[in-house]
Amino acid sequence: MAAKGKQGTLLQAICRNYLFSKRIYYKQSPVKKLYVQTRLGHSSTSSWSINSYMPEASAFHGIRCFKDLHNLSVLDPDTFWGVLAKARLEWSKPFDAVNESDFKSGTIKWFQGGQLNVSVNCVDRHALLSPERVALIWERDEPGTEVKVTYRKLLEMTCRLANVLKRHGIKKGDRVAIYMPVSPVAVAAMLACTRIGAVHTVVFAGFSADSLSGRILDGECNAIITCNQGIRGGRLVELKKTVDEAVKNCPMVKCVFVAHRTENKVPMSDMDIPLEEAMAKEEAVCPPEIMESEDMLFMLYTSGSTGKPKGIVHTQAGYLLYAGLTHKYVFDYHQGDVFGCVADIGWITGHSYVVYGPLCNGGTTVLFESTPTYPNPGRYWETVQRLRINQFYGAPTAFRLLMKYGDDWVKRYDRSSLKTLGSVGEPIHHEAWEWYYGVVGDGKCTVLDTWWQTETGGICITPRPSEEGAEIVPAIAMRPFFGIVPALMDENGKELKGQNVAGALCIKQPWPGIARTLYGDHQRFLDSYFRTYPGYYFTGDGAHRSIEGYYQLTGRMDDVINISGHRLGTAEVEDAMDEHPDVPEAAVIGIPHDIKGEVPFAFVVLKDDVSRAEKVVVEELKSMVTSKIAKYAVPDHIVVVKRLPKTRSGKIMRRVLRKIATNETSDLGDLTTMDDPEIITEVIEYYEKYKQQKSSA
Ligand code: PRX
């Protein structure tokens, strides 16, 4: 079977098969224009001083400029992170050691001995100082109906919700699944878990019941927090119904807390608890659980090379410090700014830059519930105008989509509040970058391509922060953040030195935001990230280092594709399709797509004796993928073939299939290991037939 033969093949094969084949995406001369953008953490560069930029710098010796500070973060990370952790987080008990991590053994430990509570850091300390400061602006799906939540109110909501959880037996260390779109109650749910020491796992509210139950089972969750229904782009989403289906397979779930986003009634069973009603009965005070720095904070499932999604585990202090610091220094966030990250809380971007980073800094964060095109393609910019957003953080897939509707949808709204524009999740190509910079930002904003991953906890490579007045090269992530030391590796596992080199992107030394393990599978954690290049964290991405020393990402080196900024393992789709009784084999690859970046493309083999029409089976496969994973995972193309090209050892040659699917058959690469080259002609014929049928349909 397709996916089954792939287990355990990712390591050395990853490099050889992908980066060092012709799949490398980077262009030799990526630099079209250089922009010099002079803002660096301050509105006026002339008044810039290291001590106002980072007040803690006075505790370091001999730091006069940004370069000194960055060097210190890299050369003496213990001093750098130790001072910042003390200053930026509120501790119940100070830590004894800054960093006891070792990439050789894959052990990661920061701030051991320290005790703190994340909800106290994100809410209480700000509620105490500025109770009426707005913490959340809920930009509801219906434009013009935003709801503001102050720090005082958020603290009250968090405590009430925490008390509800406690009343129903949820305690420190328990895992709680959150299946909700972004909203104040969803943020309070995350914070309530942190308050009582429970571990949340937010599951993107677009995932199917099977995906949800898979994550609940893997995470051994005993409670779920959800909504009766969601509303997105004017459409109702039946969240509770999906939870009901998922829960049938999850005997360990003892209660389901149901918040109400709509007035509509949904069936409630004995284990369902109406959340707002329960919260109203609880006290608005809940003593925080004191947590160790390295206790689990949350887990978040993400796709890997093999079929089963991985439960990435982040812990308390290191993650929070890193999320807060990157939020502050990458985006140049200042008190009073309105921070607008339009990601959903179901992804890491929502965790770090909708919730934890901004709240750790006492900021005002926008919770964007809608879509970029509802009720029209001006939605983002109308929101910017109405909420006076200062930092906007979105995904290239949305920019590519919006560009197609024309500049007028942007220009009709006042965007003069914008200072920084961030991009995340996938490469931002030149055209989209230019549009973001020139049209959205009117050539006045700092535009940042930010590279990072669920595993890294926060942004690792991005043009800012940097030295005063440093250039920004369009569409490149460019510079490592404080404490981040990137390394590029060659096909023999050796680090590439010098400039103008391309290789596998690794990070050389630990930083506080890195994931600690995969829930219930530490060995897979070690194998996935630390075995390929011993002593280095391997990101799974390729990168190029330019002559100037800037980093440009070149794409994934494994079988993970990126659909509209969402990670998906092709093996997950193959596994879902393999379950069809008429499909003995399937191979899924990613192909480029104008708007979504990449889309899945499937070649499937049907059993010889299938009597039903191919069309019917293909439709069944699509609905299987929808119900086993999510709609976004359904392949755009499903081509039925007789056989799949394989190596003599039986491995499917996806590299060849990718060439066929992208019509690059004149150069199929090295075929010496192929078992039966005739299969190529056969597959091409089937694909040509498929294209003809599609164009005449
Ligand atoms: O391949 C890289 C791509 O997204 C992957 C991480 O996906 P995920 O864990 O879902 O996190 C997405 C949001 C942080 C990376 O391994 N990626 C992310 N940002 C960029 C990127 N690729 C190119 N440029 C980026 N700025």
Asked if residue 210 and residue 225 are part of one domain, the reply reads yes
**Rounded CA separation 267/277 (Å):** 16
pLDDT band (50, 70, 90) for residue 4: very low
Q: Is the per-residue pLDDT at 272 higher than 70?
A: yes
Atom of ligand 1 nearest to the CA of 451: 26
Q: Which has more pLDDT, 13 or 143?
A: 143
CATH of the domain at 569: 3.30.300.30
Instruction: Quote the pLDDT of residue 26.
Output: 36
Residues 50-88 have pLDDT tens digits of 889 999 988 998 898 999 999 999 999 999 999 999 999
Gap from CA of 534 to ligand 1 centroid (Å):
23
Gap from CA of 79 to ligand 1 centroid (Å):
29
Cβ–Cβ < 8 Å for 191, 158: yes
Instruction: Quote the pLDDT of residue 47.
Output: 63
Gap from CA of 12 to ligand 1 centroid (Å):
21
Cβ–Cβ < 8 Å for 591, 598: yes
Asked if residue 309 and residue 170 are part of one domain, the reply reads yes
pLDDT band (50, 70, 90) for residue 329: very high
Gap from CA of 347 to ligand 1 centroid (Å):
11
CATH of the domain at 303: 3.40.50.12780
Gap from CA of 539 to ligand 1 centroid (Å):
10
Residue 554 lies in a domain: no
Residue 427 lies in a domain: no
Residue 538 lies in a domain: no
What is the domain range of residue 175? Answer: 1-20+117-316
Percent of the chain with pLDDT over 70: 93
Q: Is 245 helix (H, G, I), strand (E, B) or coil?
A: helix
Q: Whose CA is nearest to atom 24 of ligand 1?
A: 427
Residue 343 lies in a domain: no
Residue 92 lies in a domain: yes
Instruction: Quote the pLDDT of residue 66.
Output: 94
Asked if residue 226 and residue 89 are part of one domain, the reply reads no
Asked if residue 671 and residue 579 are part of one domain, the reply reads yes
Asked if residue 39 and residue 68 are part of one domain, the reply reads yes
Gap from CA of 629 to ligand 1 centroid (Å):
20
Q: Whose CA is nearest to atom 5 of ligand 1?
A: 453
Q: Whose CA is nearest to atom 13 of ligand 1?
A: 425
Asked if residue 155 and residue 262 are part of one domain, the reply reads yes
Residue type present at position 234: G
Cβ–Cβ < 8 Å for 423, 391: no
Residues 505-543 have pLDDT tens digits of 999 999 999 999 999 999 999 999 999 999 999 999 999
Gap from CA of 426 to ligand 1 centroid (Å):
5
**Rounded CA separation 144/383 (Å):** 8
Q: Whose CA is nearest to atom 10 of ligand 1?
A: 567
Gap from CA of 364 to ligand 1 centroid (Å):
25
Residue 677 lies in a domain: yes
Cβ–Cβ < 8 Å for 516, 504: no
Asked if residue 608 and residue 588 are part of one domain, the reply reads yes
Terminal alpha carbon distance of the chain:
32
The structural domain count of the chain equals 3
Q: Whose CA is nearest to atom 22 of ligand 1?
A: 426
Q: What is the best residue among 26, 310, 397, 553 to mutate for testing ligand 1's pocket, by most ligand atoms within 8 Å of CB? A: 553
Q: What is the best residue among 452, 461, 556, 559 to mutate for testing ligand 1's pocket, by most ligand atoms within 8 Å of CB? A: 452
Of 316, 331, 357, the domain-final residue: 316
Instruction: Quote the pLDDT of residue 659.
Output: 94
Q: Whose CA is nearest to atom 21 of ligand 1?
A: 426
Asked if residue 132 and residue 207 are part of one domain, the reply reads yes
Residue 540 lies in a domain: no
Residues in contact with ligand 1 (CB, 6 Å cut-off): 302, 348-349, 424-427, 449-454, 477, 539-541, 553, 556, 562, 567
β partners of residue 341: 393
Atom of ligand 1 nearest to the CA of 556: 1
Asked if residue 165 and residue 93 are part of one domain, the reply reads no
Residue 406 lies in a domain: no
Asked if residue 593 and residue 568 are part of one domain, the reply reads yes
Q: What is the best residue among 453, 476, 528 to mutate for testing ligand 1's pocket, by most ligand atoms within 8 Å of CB? A: 453
Q: Over range 209-229, report the average pLDDT.
A: 97
Asked if residue 176 and residue 239 are part of one domain, the reply reads yes
Of 53, 88, 116, the domain-final residue: 116
**Rounded CA separation 433/395 (Å):** 11
Cβ–Cβ < 8 Å for 504, 488: yes
**Rounded CA separation 480/451 (Å):** 9
**Rounded CA separation 381/412 (Å):** 9
Asked if residue 639 and residue 609 are part of one domain, the reply reads yes
Residues 482-512 have pLDDT tens digits of 999 999 999 999 999 999 999 999 999 999 9
Atom of ligand 1 nearest to the CA of 539: 16
Q: Is the per-residue pLDDT at 246 higher than 70?
A: yes
Of 316, 344, 376, the domain-final residue: 316
Q: Over range 250-265, report the average pLDDT.
A: 98
Gap from CA of 568 to ligand 1 centroid (Å):
11
